[in-house]
Structures are given as structure tokens and as C-alpha cells.
Amino acid sequence: MPSNELLSSTIAELAPRIRSGEVSPVELTEAALAQAEAMQPSLNTFITLLPEQALEQAREEEAAIARGEYKGALQGIPIGLKDNLATAGIRTTLGTKVLQDFVPDEDAEVAIRCRAAGAIILGKENMEEFAAGATSNNPHFGPVRNPWGTDHIPGGSSGGGGANVAAEVTFASLGTDLGGSVRLPGSFCGVVGLKQTFGRVSQRGLLVTSFNGDHIGPMTRSVADSAIVLQAIAGHDPLDPSSVPVPVSDYSAGLARGVRGLRMGVPSNYYFEDLEPDVEEATLRAIAALEELGAISVPVELPMMKYIGAVRMAAMSDAIVTHEPFLRSNRDDYGPDVLYRTLGGQFVLGHHYSKAMKAQRLIQEDYARVLQDVDFIVTPTTPLCAPRIDAPYIEHLGETHRVRGPGSGLVSRNTSPLNATGHPAITVPSGLNHAGLPIGLQFIAAGFREDLLFQVAASYEGVSPSQGRRPPVLQG
């Protein structure tokens, strides 16, 4: 498909052109909708596309800009929302037959903030059923396909959003991240995926969420764009008990500061275990590139990570409580992978849950200690590149692993710990494997230091071998 200069731009590049009147939000939205319709048959990224509403929004924002009412860098920018984020009067299915006709009465807080910033919502994006998995192989609405290889998963559970950003359909998509569900599509689709600090962005309107560790975060084409989107959605929400009243920084201000003199923690345990050779090689190259930029490598150890498996007990308990009413009323409407993954939670006893909370606390203390001595931590985002859609099992370093359902933790091995600790983490593309599939690099910072995270990620992005690469679906 030939390149459209507008669609291949970033938000940061387009924003001044929209503000000046050089680029029309209506024409941009029309181009994005045409791209969505062209890509839908091959990628299956949307559950509900909203062309009429999107064009009406675009006309309103274009008129507002003409009146001198400029709202900021997101104004007139087409974005997508994962279909577990409530939208008033618009079907919100959570990717499941159980809620295929559900229409919320209110918008999620992040949707309210995006609309207030002038963003144009193209539609509700396909996802793993109930956001419970890492593949986005949806049994009810069909699998989302990866723009870098349509036989491969895009990652989950926010796969529709990751694929849309990579395929130049949306300029940003909001996903949800309970175990890596923004960062995994970011890594597998070759885009930037952010899980900010727990409490930085309101969860209100995130449907069927966990009580412990769920986040709403952006997938974008650049680190600068991630900073722009977080600027719009961050901030205290007095109606969300998990939202924290911490001042919001100017996230774009420090993007060019570089990493010279910053101390870079390189874990000596856990994160560099079980890596595919291509992932390990790309990560070591990235660390060397950061050292050339002036970062100082510091080996760090996170000994309590040996207990990370125990934290899963808490997540299983959360899941069974969240799903209880639906299991009573619509059990037969569940896909089998999510059903059997969820049912295990009923066997978690109270003392198991308490031990999980103790393990989580010990792990949090580990990160707090390490982040006193280094400015940021660097890891591979995932141990492997995107598996095939038709692979229920994969052979990884001589062992067989499930890709979906119970026991499928390999894919999210390096992302899920940060949901337990609440620390901000971002994935940035760091190259391609031998089959041409993207690899991601993950940065971790102390709580509420998203400004530093963007600074580091932007510095690496400038030297990443992924710069200028476009997925094959855009080149055919």
C-alpha cells in the first residue's frame, strides 16, 4: 500500500501543522478512516468503527481551531480506544460474547480527557476476551493480526491498538495493562507502549478491571507522542480511589536531555533469563548504544524476584471475584481459554492470598532499594518475538510453553512484575529478529518519574535500528 504522508507522520509532527491550518482534521480523519477500512480485512483491529461520529468530531475540532480555540497537540488527531474502556452510548463489548450488546451510560475518564483535548475517536479496538491474555486471538470477534507478519499475534490484550498504530490507522491508541497488555503489543508490533505509575491515570470506566495493578496507557509511534498522550490523560481523579494527587510534569520538556551521566541498572537475575538469541543480542546492542550515549551501566540484583510466581495467586483471586456475576449468568458464552484461566481463582485460599501480598511487598522493596542507586533499569520487554496465531504451544529454548490460557506466562514474564510493583515502564522498538519481527526494549523508573522515563526512551529511540522501519503490510 503506498505511503500517505499524513498518516505516516507522528502526532508531534502534525500538531503544529493542524494548529496553523495547514492540515485539516477532517481530511486527516477521512484518511485514517480509509486506512482503517483498507486494513480491517487483513488485520481485524476494530470491533466497532465509528466513521460518522469521528467525522462529526473532526468537523467540530476544525471549526474550533478556526475560531482560535486551540486545545493542544492532540486536537484533530485520530486515536483508538480498546473495547474495555467505557464509551457513553457506544457498544463496549470487552471482546466477549457475554457483553456483546453492552452500551455504557458514561464515558471512561480517559475518554472524557481525550475528547476534551480534541482527539478524534475512530472506534473501539479488538482485544483478548475480557483482556485476559497476551495474544488477542479473540474467539468471538476473530484474531487481531500483526502488521509485521499477519500469521503472527500482535500481542495482547490490547492487540487491536498496537496493530492500528503500527499500520498507520491511528496515531495513538489507549490500551489497558494488567500484566503487559500495552507493552506486549508495543513490543510485538514495533511501537512505543507505556505503562505509567499506578495511580497516575484514572481507572474509572475501565470495565471488569482488577483491583490490583491495572493501568490505562498509550501505544504510539514515538516517545514524543507517548508524552503528549500521557499529558492529556494523567492527573488526579477524585472519583477514582486508586488515583493519586501527585502533580503532573511537562512530559515533553526533557525529551532532548539525553542520558549522559545517568546510572543504568542492568539486572543480573530474572530479566535476562530464557531469552531468544535474537532478543538477547538486540538488548545487548541497545545497552552498548546507551553506554555510547553516556549512560553508566551498573549491575543490579533483584533477589526477591524468585517469588514473583506467588503474586499470581492474588491476580487469580481478583479474576474470580470480578467474573463471578458473569460466570453465574453467562458461563456458556465464555471462550474456553479465558474460562479455564479464570476458574482456577476459586481454589485460592485466604492464606495463599496473604502470602501473595507478602511476596508483592518484598518485590516492591527490592525495586525501591535498587532505584535508590540507579536512575533507571533496562530489560528486554519480552523473552521472545511474536508467536504464530495458530500456535497453541511454542517450543522455547528446548521447553514447551502454552501461548494462551492457564500457564501461559512466558510471553508476559518481563512485563507483569511491574504491574505488581506499580513502577512506570515503557517499551521502545529495538530492532527486528531474523524473521523480520519486532523486538522491544523496556525501561523502568521510580514511581511518578515518567519524565525521566521519556527522557531515557527518547534518547535511545534516536539511535535504535528500528528508526524508519515500516511493517510489510504498508509496503505491499
Which range marks the domain in which residue 180 is found?
Answer: 17-474
* 82 part of the active site: yes
Could you identify the residue written with the cell 475501565? 206
Give residue-wise pLDDT tens across range 193-202: 999 999 999 9
Please pick, among 9, 157, 412, 464, the residue that the annotation labels catalytic. 157
Give residue-wise pLDDT tens across range 237-260: 999 999 999 999 999 999 999 999
| Residue type at position 163 | A
User: What is the spatial distance between Cα 342 and Cα 195, in angstroms, rounded to a whole number?
Assistant: 24
User: What is the spatial distance between Cα 51 and Cα 173, in angstroms, rounded to a whole number?
Assistant: 16
pLDDT at 476 over 70: no
Determine the number of helices (DSSP H) and then strands (DSSP E) in the chain.
13, 15
Give residue-wise pLDDT tens across range 285-328: 999 999 999 999 999 999 999 999 999 999 999 999 999 999 99
Q: What's the confidence (pLDDT) of residue 209?
A: 76
Lowest average pLDDT, out of 26-30, 145-149, 150-154, 400-404, goes to 400-404
pLDDT at 278 over 50: yes
Give residue-wise pLDDT tens across range 389-413: 999 899 999 999 999 888 889 999 9
Total structural domains within the chain: 1
Q: What is the 3-state secondary structure (H, E, C) of 138-199?
A: ECCCEECCECCECCECCCCCCHHHHHHHHCCCCCEEEEEECCCCCHHHHHHHCCEEEECCCC
Residue at 2 is within a domain: no
Give residue-wise pLDDT tens across range 322-362: 999 999 999 999 999 999 999 999 999 999 999 999 999 99
Q: What's the confidence (pLDDT) of residue 408?
A: 87
User: What is the spatial distance between Cα 276 and Cα 281, in angstroms, rounded to a whole number?
Assistant: 9
Residue at 7 is within a domain: no
Burial state string for 59-91 with b = 16 or more CB within 10 A and e = fewer than 16: ebbbebbeeeebbebbbbbbbbbbbbbbbeebb
User: What is the spatial distance between Cα 348 and Cα 319, in angstroms, rounded to a whole number?
Assistant: 11
pTM (2 d.p.): 0.98
Residue at 207 is within a domain: yes
**Percent of all residues in the chain with a pLDDT value above 90, rounded to a whole number:** 96
pLDDT at 92 over 50: yes
Residue at 12 is within a domain: no
Residue at 10 is within a domain: no
Q: Which CATH number does the domain housing residue 138 bear?
A: 3.90.1300.10
Please pick, among 24, 136, 173, 181, the residue that the annotation labels catalytic. 181
* 430 part of the active site: no
Residue at 139 is within a domain: yes
* 124 part of the active site: no
